Structure 1
Amino acid sequence: MADSEDNGLTDAARLQQPIARLLRPLVRLLIRYGVTFPALCELLRELYVNVAVHDCALPDKEQTDSRISLLTGIHRKEVRRLREAGAPVRTVPASVSRTSQIVALWLGDRRFADRKGAPAPLRRAGSPGRGPTFESLVEEVTRDVRPRAVLDEWLDRKIVSLDADGRIVLGEAAIAPDKGDERQLYYFGRNLHDHIAAAAANIVQEPAPFMERAVHYEGLSEAGARRLEALSRELAMEGLIAANREAQTLQRSDEEGRWRWTFGVYVYREDERPSSEPASGKKGARA
């Protein structure tokens, strides 16, 4: 990015305030989980070198230690050490991938839905009744793990429960993992990465390539904020389920490719503390 003449500030200086706001909840989380400032600095040092090596290389030119040092401000000796450590590998824990694929199929395929389009309770293989079974759902995604093992794991993690007829019912934890579930930390990193990557691309590219919007209001009562939260949760789930259903259809019919796609939503509310910032009143905005 080139230097900006607005207010006499460079782009780097103008980024500091939004970056500080972006990092504040992350720093709260790091402190709560015992990640110290020196530990974070070491992680950032490794990331700076890794990003400079893999994302900032010039075409047909060697990415030298000197250039990486110039880009990152990290000494050449440290650059050499960190380069030799290799690049981080994007990995998805097997249980996370398996669970996500099975839940996505249950939510998106009409064979496993009720008349209203919601995920239907599934019977066990051999039990009375008609329609698809939990075993057929699991086996459509993987045959490496027995459906009974998946069911036992999911019951323990409250991803599913059993109704009065012994059918298997998809629970809220399938969509919003509970604390301690490894999916929660995996999607914490994945979802925030994609949101920030979309927003960053919109800043540096013209025209902005991605949809990245939010509706926000200040000056609400607690009851009003909770009412809007409930409404937005309902609308968000409708959108996610519809998009997931279309993605399931495309995945079955589309040719194999290298592209990935994310459609995400978030809802947030808080009791704002008094600050020195000018009051914005009860006005909404989209950003």
Structure 2
Amino acid sequence: MLRKGVTYTGFAELLKEVFVDVAEREFRLDDKPSSDSRISLLTGVHRKDVRRLRAQAGGHEASLPKVISFGAHLVSVWLNSSPFCEQPGRPLPLARLASNGGECSFDGLVAQVSKDIRARVVLDEWLRLGIVRIDEQDQVHLETMAFIPQRGFDEKAAYFRHNLHDHACAAVYNLTEGGEPFFERSVHYDSLSPAAVTQLREAVNADGMQVLIGFNQLAAELEERDIPPPDAKQRITIGLYFYTEPTPPTVDNPSTASSS
């Protein structure tokens, strides 16, 4: 946060918004809106601040911004749907213009997902973010197996919010609720060499991405085959992450490995 100029004061203001929003949505009595005084009592946020925050625009949604949801959908179609892929998970290079490639072009791909957005606008933005590249034959190549911008802080921040929110919600549910738990497991070791960590990182990048691509293909098939009523739609997030840092020096201990 400090690298991006977020001060403690700014962070504290964001926390007030979060506390007020959650109290308003999840701690109602008899499903009726709470008063400013009750929310102030629950959260410890001053009543004047509660009134001001509630008067502002509605709460933050957990879903991704529209532009990113569109991008994720577009990449999914390119990866999984004919004529844009050789087989699921193997996207084809696409002619940039429909005049050269017809339906099997970047123009055709964008048109299949939305008639309201110009392909050139999407292409320029994706070139900026490093999602695609154009070769000497004016063909567009997909440079990623998911909509994860290589550049563009705002886009990365949107994914940060989305993934952190859903991971934390799964963990909190498993900790506090009595129903069937969400899948949330990890593997951790603390006595690996840098070379071993590099090997594991590469394995996670390769094998982990294949696992996620498989889930993506299944979800795309189910979404097309099993269409729910408008009032019964649900969203999902399936994630996989990798992190490493030096192990703090301690007394000699045997290597540990566990999952939780």
Task: Report the TM-score when normalising by structure 1.
Answer: 0.79
Identity percentage of aligned residues: 38
- Partner in structure 2 of residue 80 of structure 1: 51
Distance, in Å, in 1 between the alignment partners of 2:171 and 2:257 is: 20
Query: Equivalent residue of 1:216, what SS?
Result: strand
Matched letter for residue 38 of structure 1: T
Residue 234 of structure 2 corresponds to residue 259 of structure 1 = yes
Aligned-residue offset at 1:89:
4.0
Distance, in Å, in 2 between the alignment partners of 1:237 and 1:63 is: 44
- Partner in structure 2 of residue 232 of structure 1: 204
1:160-171 → structure 2 map (5 Å cutoff): 160-171=132-143
Unaligned 5+ runs, structure 1: 1-29
1:35-114 → structure 2 map (5 Å cutoff): 35-60=6-31, 63-90=34-61, 92-114=64-86
Q: How many residues align?
A: 255
Distance, in Å, in 2 between the alignment partners of 1:32 and 1:143 is: 40
Deviations 1:180-208 (A, max 9, x none): 25321110100110000110110001245
Distance, in Å, in 2 between the alignment partners of 1:160 and 1:89 is: 30
Query: Equivalent residue of 2:133, what SS?
Result: strand
Unaligned 5+ runs, structure 2: none
Aligned-residue offset at 1:33:
1.3
Residues 40 and 202 (structure 1 numbering): CA distance in 2 closer, same or farther, change over 3 Å?
same
Q: Is the 8 A contact 1:202 1:210 kept in 2?
A: yes
Task: Report the TM-score when normalising by structure 2.
Answer: 0.86
Q: Which runs of 4+ in 1 moved over 6 A?
A: none
1:183-198 → structure 2 map (5 Å cutoff): 183-198=155-170
Aligned-residue offset at 1:219:
0.8
Deviations 1:45-102 (A, max 9, x none): 2221221111111225552333323321233344333333353242744432322211
- Partner in structure 1 of residue 112 of structure 2: 140
Greater displacement, 133-142 / 221-230: 133-142
Distance, in Å, in 1 between the alignment partners of 2:71 and 2:169 is: 25
